[in-house]
Amino acid sequence: MPHFEATNTSNANAFTIADTPSFLDDSSIFGTICPTLDTLHKIAPQIPKECKKLPIYKELYADFITPIMAIALLKSRSQNAFLLESMQDRKQWGRYSFLGFEPSAHISYSNGVVRLESNEQKLLDLARFGKKVSKHHAQSNTIEFQANPKEILREVLKLYKSPNLAQYGIENIPSFSGGLVGYFAYEYIGLIEEKLDFAKTQKSIIDSTSHTKAQNPTQTKDIEFMLFDSLIIFDNLAQKLLLLTNIDLDKNKTSTDSLKNAYIQGIKKLESIEEILCQNPSSPSTKEKISKEQSLPQNPQTNYQTPQSNQTAHDKIPTPLPCAIASSLPNAFAKSLQGFRLDSPLKSHYDKAEFCAIVDKAKHYIKEGDIFQVVLSNPLHAKASGSLFDVYRVLRTSNPSPYMFYLTSSDLEIAGASPETLLKLQNGTIYTYPLAGSRPRGSTPIQDENLAKELLSDEKELSEHNMLVDLGRNDIGRVAKVGSVKVEQYQNIVRYSHIMHISSRVSGILREDKDAFNALDSIFPAGTLSGAPKIRACEIIHELEGTNRGIYGGAIGYLDFSGNMDMCIGIRLVVKQGDEVSVRSGAGIVYDSDGEKEFVETQNKAKAVINALQTASQNTPKTKR
């Protein structure tokens, strides 16, 4: 399975934020800049004219800080930040963790209006692509206007386009070196298929007992991304910390002075990030930097595999050391780590009888020939206070997954551990991984293996999976070169902490006249979260569920300055807005589905996130609220 290529060998629970060491101020850490200025002078004439940026990075040892410590520190400086990590089947962390803070721009779209916030005039000037400027807040450097959000995002990426340095012999550049980080909500489908734009026709459904269900109060944007041209990257394989920024490329790329000046400015940016990481949170006035040497050891001996574990869904979840300890730290830092608490029980939108009723309605559409399969979901909501930071800490250890993410902005927090890729575009090749058919994990290795065999012999599950593999082939075929689409790794079992699935891989080579947005539109939303045929399934989902899904069933990830994309499906996640948290999970419905079993499947899929919420909440002392 693909992943965000995250990394971390440290146990985030081994010491608390209060233990964030003063030894950071006087450690001896080696540092070097890559590529060198001489190298850039050599390759600059070869770089295409449309490239406006170029990444440079500084290497440091990564044994003095973890990604969890780093994101906690960054949250104290910026309410807009992210952390992307990855782990495969409890055995091995992915190579890279990506962190960002203080974005250059914040771009969102809802109700036909693009909202763009930035301190850079060249980004605010993108309003010229809009039909009408509705609002311009000069004091906050924010502008709102009517426009196609995909075109605005395309223009943003053009302004920051960077080359693939591997083509010029510069290796070891991470897969993500700056770009847009955020999400496309499920309702983004309305921008792809006009008949699926339900914004003006949103309605509640009448259930089998003839009373109207309450609307889902989640009000996420249809699109929301932050622009990061500087990153903090943990390299687990080499045990290094990479501080990366993108420097400006002058129109005359052969200009020695302009390239040198840009390089110097880039180094200053890297040093400012380093200074932030080297501060002791309990002494924020500290300005001393880590001492530096000429180069790193050439072949550091590392082992980035964790011991194999037989842990299952029934294992006890370790309790995280409380971030409420941060109350002894400066106010800004303590506030960023405010402990999480559930202030009311999680309540399902539909009880078992109600969910079975809408399953029966879906089966009626299947028998009538409207669809072959549809995915119906059931949201849960609760009142909550504090930050999802501790929830993410629990989730990353109790449910390690290929895509683990924590995103925070001024009015929204997202924490999740998704097992499923929506779309990965890497150097011109598109990948998607249909994931359908499931069983809970066994309490012993033998039981676990028996459940896997049972899953692979279940005709209903295999039929559902094969249908989605065919859908993936057709979706990718819309934007791929003729003859390049293929199915690989067919019907493999993939295991996660609480559940196992059947997985296959579908790939194709992107046509030269298409880009990441075309690729996304060809496959969005995932067949595993909608059904087949997709458009009719989405119409039925809207009719039967009657609520906006928000980020659930959408896509979370990044679009890179070099044209790459990595998006996971928005599942196994929790969203917090104001004083409310929401969790959602679904089940695939086919002609012979049993409503009660499908209701249980939605509960199994939500179990990891619910456990993380409850564990984090139980660990937050009431006296600290």
Catalytic residues: 501, 528, 552, 572, 588
Alpha-carbon distance of 26 to 36, in angstroms, equals 27
Alpha-carbon distance of 567 to 4, in angstroms, equals 9
Name the region of 5 (left: φ>0; alpha: ψ -120 to 50; beta: rest): left
Alpha-carbon distance of 531 to 606, in angstroms, equals 20
- The string of DSSP letters for 281-331 reads TT-TT--PPPB--S---SS-----BPPP----TTSPPPPPPPGGGGGGS-H
Asked if residues 536 and 368 have their Cβ atoms less than 8 Å apart, the reply is no
Intra-chain end-to-end CA distance of the chain, in Å: 40
Asked if residues 18 and 403 have their Cβ atoms less than 8 Å apart, the reply is no
What tokens appear for 106 in the block? 């914040």
Please state the three-class secondary structure of 558-573 as a single string.
EEECCCCEEEEECCCE
Which stretches of 41-112 are assigned E, i.e. beta strand?
53-61, 81-85, 87-88, 92-93, 96-101, 105-110
What tokens appear for 535 in the block? 């458009």
* Upstream peptide bond of 217 is cis (omega within 30 degrees of 0): no
Rg of the chain in Å (alpha carbons): 24
CA distances from 186 to 95, 204, 552, 553 (A): 29, 18, 6, 5
SS3 195: helix
- H or E element at residue 596: helix 595-618
Look-up of token digits 């060998």? 9
Name the region of 89 (left: φ>0; alpha: ψ -120 to 50; beta: rest): left
What tokens appear for 303 in the block? 């082992």
Asked if residues 605 and 571 have their Cβ atoms less than 8 Å apart, the reply is yes
Alpha-carbon distance of 534 to 193, in angstroms, equals 11
Look-up of token digits 């110097």? 264
Look-up of token digits 């000046």? 261
Alpha-carbon distance of 399 to 571, in angstroms, equals 13
What tokens appear for 181 in the block? 């980080």
SS3 72: helix
| Sign, CA torsion 491/508/229/63 | positive
What tokens appear for 615 in the block? 């564990």
- Size of the chain, expressed as the number of residues it contains: 625
Alpha-carbon distance of 577 to 555, in angstroms, equals 18
Asked if residues 118 and 262 have their Cβ atoms less than 8 Å apart, the reply is no
